[in-house]
Chains A and B, each alone.
Chain A
Amino acid sequence: MNTNLLIGIVALTALAQEARSELKWEQTSVDLKPALGDKQAVAHFKYENVGNTPIHFESVHASCGCTTAQTQNEQVAPGQKGEITATFNIGGRTGTQVKTVTVRTDDPNPAHSTTVLTLKAVITPLLEIQPTLVYWQNGEEPKPKIITAKANKDAAIKKLDVVSSVPDFTAKVDAGSAPNEFKISVQPRDTTKAVYATLTIKPDSPANTGNTFAVAARVMPPAPTSGTAITPSTKATVSTVRHDLVTPAPTAASPRQ
């Protein structure tokens, strides 16, 4: 009688331990290399329920608004496989981007109930431009300033077209010191009045789907005097600058897909 009870207890304990759920991930970290011009990078995180009770996804939450994550099904039966698709909207991002998706399940084991999935994407833009702003102080010598544009070597960019939104700035493009490098030399006509210009850079490349890049060129207004009184001339300058912003600059042509 006692032996039976003992066996019964052992059996029950064994069974209880058997009733486990576990989501097994093929990978929890995915490296992506989106192609030039891709607007999104998609990572698939495959899982399988290797336990013997169903698993329910409580939340699938991305670290930032630019990444959305979807599960195929809310509930995963034992033995069932599925995947979580994480879609990262690249936008204007460049360089190495790391985004995470936190997955919470109803797995009773706290070690397994939360999993962090990592998506790493290396984004090389069509053109890397430095700096994106060149400026001259009021009264500074109107010497040309250089903007370096490094083209993505897979894009086969032969030349750059640079157009200024206002005639007060001229831009000249020369080959840079390295292959795929361009030097854009920007010069103001004079530096006596404040001017704002958008320089639109259009690369000529078969891979280019009409993308343009913009840099800003400015002649700064005279430094405010300690009296901080806005003189009529400053007011006029401010309104001139605003007017440039209001009229659609060539950058409006850059497609927003």
Chain B
Amino acid sequence: MKSLSQQFFWRLMDLIVGGIFIYAGVIKAVAPLRFAIDIDNYKMLPWAIGVRLAFYLPWLELVCGIALILRFFYRGGLFILTALTFIFIAASIIAKVRGLDITCGCFGHTSKNWSFTAHLALDFAILITLIALWVSSRAQQREL
């Protein structure tokens, strides 16, 4: 049985990670064209697909972020966010290896001046937290 402080800790993680994705989602949802250009800079998808993703992904992040905070469709939300973060880290590394000059675009243009390593570190931290939340929720389910 998880102690109260443990429960509190995991709940806090939900709020923080959920909040991050809500913030990231909102920032991109209000400027879809800018996001479409950022996606295009990775040069991995044709524009026609990238622009549609630019409209859709921010809302997916937002909805999943809310799912985390409200504990509504919680594990589904975790699953999607983990997949998104993983794909995004992979794409960033590939783009960097190809020598492309990309502004991350994940946090809009507020994060434009961060270094690549700072971005990557944050993304890995998020990924690890998401995985930890997933594991923790599975453990909780088994206990019930």
Report which A residues bind B (CB closer than 8 A): 131, 145-148
Which B residues lie within 8 Å of A131 (CB)?
A: 99
Residue interface bits B89-105, CB-to-A below 8 A is 1, else 0: 00000000111000000
State how many angstroms separate the Cβ of B128 from the closest Cβ of chain A: 27
Chosen A-B contacts, 8 in total, with CB atoms closer than 8 Å, are A131-B99, A145-B99, A146-B97, A146-B98, A146-B99, A147-B99, A148-B98, A148-B99
State how many angstroms separate the Cβ of A253 from the closest Cβ of chain B: 28
Question: How many B residues face the partner with a CB closer than 8 A?
Answer: 3
* B99 to chain A: closest residue by CB: A146
Cα distance, A169 to B97, chains bound together (Å)? 20
The 7 lowest CB-CB distance pairs between A and B, nearest first, are: A146-B99, A145-B99, A148-B98, A146-B98, A131-B99, A146-B97, A148-B99
State how many angstroms separate the Cβ of A171 from the closest Cβ of chain B: 14
Which A residues lie within 8 Å of B99 (CB)?
A: 131, 145-148
State how many angstroms separate the Cβ of B27 from the closest Cβ of chain A: 29
Cα distance, A131 to B101, chains bound together (Å)? 11
State how many angstroms separate the Cβ of B80 from the closest Cβ of chain A: 29
State how many angstroms separate the Cβ of B43 from the closest Cβ of chain A: 9
State how many angstroms separate the Cβ of B102 from the closest Cβ of chain A: 14
Q: Is the interface of B mostly helix, strand, loop or mixed?
A: loop
Cα distance, A121 to B98, chains bound together (Å)? 29
State how many angstroms separate the Cβ of A58 from the closest Cβ of chain B: 41
State how many angstroms separate the Cβ of B98 from the closest Cβ of chain A: 7
Residue interface bits B59-98, CB-to-A below 8 A is 1, else 0: 0000000000000000000000000000000000000011
State how many angstroms separate the Cβ of A3 from the closest Cβ of chain B: 68
State how many angstroms separate the Cβ of A216 from the closest Cβ of chain B: 15
Cα distance, A131 to B97, chains bound together (Å)? 14
Which A residues lie within 8 Å of B98 (CB)?
A: 146, 148
Which A residues lie within 8 Å of B97 (CB)?
A: 146
State how many angstroms separate the Cβ of B78 from the closest Cβ of chain A: 32
State how many angstroms separate the Cβ of A172 from the closest Cβ of chain B: 14
Cα distance, A146 to B98, chains bound together (Å)? 7
* B97-141 interface with A by 8 A CB criterion: 97-99
Cα distance, A131 to B98, chains bound together (Å)? 10
Which B residues lie within 8 Å of A146 (CB)?
A: 97-99
Cα distance, A145 to B97, chains bound together (Å)? 10
**Given A131-B99, A145-B99, 6 additional A-B pairs, CB 8 A:** A146-B97, A146-B98, A146-B99, A147-B99, A148-B98, A148-B99
Cα distance, A55 to B98, chains bound together (Å)? 58
Cα distance, A57 to B52, chains bound together (Å)? 48
State how many angstroms separate the Cβ of B88 from the closest Cβ of chain A: 20
Which B residues lie within 8 Å of A147 (CB)?
A: 99
* B43 to chain A: closest residue by CB: A130
State how many angstroms separate the Cβ of A142 from the closest Cβ of chain B: 15
* B97 to chain A: closest residue by CB: A146
State how many angstroms separate the Cβ of B96 from the closest Cβ of chain A: 10
Cα distance, A145 to B99, chains bound together (Å)? 7
State how many angstroms separate the Cβ of A66 from the closest Cβ of chain B: 27
State how many angstroms separate the Cβ of A188 from the closest Cβ of chain B: 15
* B101 to chain A: closest residue by CB: A131
State how many angstroms separate the Cβ of A141 from the closest Cβ of chain B: 13
* A145 to chain B: closest residue by CB: B99
State how many angstroms separate the Cβ of B136 from the closest Cβ of chain A: 37
Cα distance, A147 to B99, chains bound together (Å)? 8
* B94 to chain A: closest residue by CB: A177
State how many angstroms separate the Cβ of A132 from the closest Cβ of chain B: 13
Cα distance, A148 to B97, chains bound together (Å)? 11
State how many angstroms separate the Cβ of B70 from the closest Cβ of chain A: 43
* A144 to chain B: closest residue by CB: B99
State how many angstroms separate the Cβ of A91 from the closest Cβ of chain B: 26
